[in-house]
Chains A and B, each alone.
Chain A
Amino acid sequence: MEQEQRAKIQSLYFEMFDRLMAYARSCLENEALAEEAVQEAFQIACQKPDSVCSSPNPRGWIVNTLRNTVRNIQSRRASAKHVLERYVVSQARDLTFSNDKLSLELLYENVAELEEFKLLAEMAVEGKSHAEMAAQRGITVSACKKRVQRAKETLQKKLKKDL
């Protein structure tokens, strides 16, 4: 990214930040996720500086990108929630049809020990952003995103084995 492009994107950032946060906050109803959506939109802008800077309407470019990052976050949460629900239901089904008298509370306690489950639960149920989860774990945002992706794959793999 050239210095001039970086300066232009930075200028757009400061000019539009509050408005973009207002948009993302309204859609996601969560301050941390709203910030994540805005940050990801500008991350994409930095990955495609030629596209932003040569656009006839750079502000419109940023807004449209933010619309997509908001939808992506909503989609990620819904997907993670779906995987979690299927996993918990599959575990409960196994216990229901077995002679084991384990209670649901014990089931959740066992499942909760899984780091994968905790990670997805924080994102899907508690609405935490990657930045928040990363800060808690002392890792980068990028590493956190990879862990979330792997967590989803791990649970999906376990679901396939159980079926």
Chain B
Amino acid sequence: MPKNKNRSQQDFSQYNAMSDEQLAEILRSDSEAPEGNGLDIDSLLYITGVLAERNTGNSSKTAQEAWDFFQESYLPEQDVHKEKASKFSKPWFRRAVAAAAIVALAVIIPLSTNALKLKKVWNTVATWGNGHFAFVTDSPVNNFDKNNPCIFETPQQVLPLLNMDPAYYPAWVPERFEYVACSVDYSDYTCVFTAEYHDENETLKVSFRAYNGIAAHHATDAEIIECYTVDGVDYYIFNNYQRLAAFCLRGNIECSITGEITLEELKAIIDSIPKG
């Protein structure tokens, strides 16, 4: 398709004499051409203008009807997309979080010696209701083993440093999700590891929380969906404000998976956990 770069001298009258099918074929060729090799914009707009004028009234929708439908069905989606476009979508922020996680591991506050001892007997109750879900335990946090900082290629590599078993980490997540970063938040009473994955518009998080007697309340907006048991481990699945969430307790560590995923995907993630 020849590209006429001198637009002021372009003669579009040739298109007036062409049939609808001939004009449509030109447009189809344009859509199949490699980027930059198609029609110039002026020619394209002229051709489409000829077709539009010839076929006025033949469309299933008027521009006004289409605009109304656009506002109703497409515009709210882009507003949601904007809300969910978190800082994590920016590469510089992802790198900053990863760097902060490494720095955090290097400059920790040592736990008291009492906290280093693990109780053998746990008193754990799972409760839900009144819009919240929680585990309550009187066990102390695991010992946080100080180590020299290093670069982690996978989130699983961080877990042994937190005395958390990487075999509890899912071996599979839906392919549309890309690993973004992990973070470690800690205090004298809790240590929370979170790995975050992103799809274009959706987020998936895998978290491990080791805590000492503090109930981790999770707000819910619906009844619990089911208790999904795998290899003797109970995963409590419920809606958490338009996200599915699954929580289980392993010793004093609360493991959770939350995200905009289907129930089938969530169960597949759970099924992939090596230690069940």
Q: Which residues of A contact B (CB under 8 A)?
A: 10, 13-14, 17-23, 25-27, 31-32, 35, 38-40, 42-43, 46-47, 57, 59-60, 63-64, 67, 70-71, 74, 131, 134, 140-142, 149-150, 153-154
Residue of A nearest to B265 (CB): A150
Question: Does B89 make an interface contact (CB < 8 A)?
Answer: no
- Closest chain-B Cβ to A41's Cβ sits at a distance in Å of 10
Whether the pair B74, A14 counts as a contact (CB closer than 8 A) is no
Whether the pair A142, B41 counts as a contact (CB closer than 8 A) is no
Question: Does B152 make an interface contact (CB < 8 A)?
Answer: no
Give me 24 A-to-B residue pairs in the complex whose CB atoms sit less than 8 angstroms apart, sorted by A's number: A10-B67, A14-B67, A18-B63, A20-B48, A23-B44, A26-B25, A26-B28, A27-B28, A35-B61, A38-B66, A39-B70, A39-B73, A39-B74, A40-B74, A43-B70, A43-B74, A47-B81, A57-B41, A64-B41, A140-B77, A149-B176, A150-B265, A153-B175, A154-B264
Whether the pair B82, A13 counts as a contact (CB closer than 8 A) is no
Residue of A nearest to B62 (CB): A17
Residue of B nearest to A45 (CB): B78
**CB < 8 Å neighbour of A35 from B56, B66, B78, B81:** B66
Whether the pair A17, B82 counts as a contact (CB closer than 8 A) is no
CA distance A35 to B70 in the complex (A): 10
Q: Which residues of B contact A60 (CB under 8 A)?
A: 41
Q: Which residues of B contact A63 (CB under 8 A)?
A: 41, 44-45
Extra inter-chain contacts (13) besides given A39-B70, A63-B41, A64-B41, CB under 8 Å: A14-B63, A17-B66, A22-B49, A23-B44, A27-B28, A39-B73, A43-B75, A46-B75, A63-B45, A74-B31, A131-B73, A141-B73, A142-B80
Whether the pair B31, A67 counts as a contact (CB closer than 8 A) is yes
CA distance A131 to B31 in the complex (A): 23
Question: Does B24 make an interface contact (CB < 8 A)?
Answer: yes
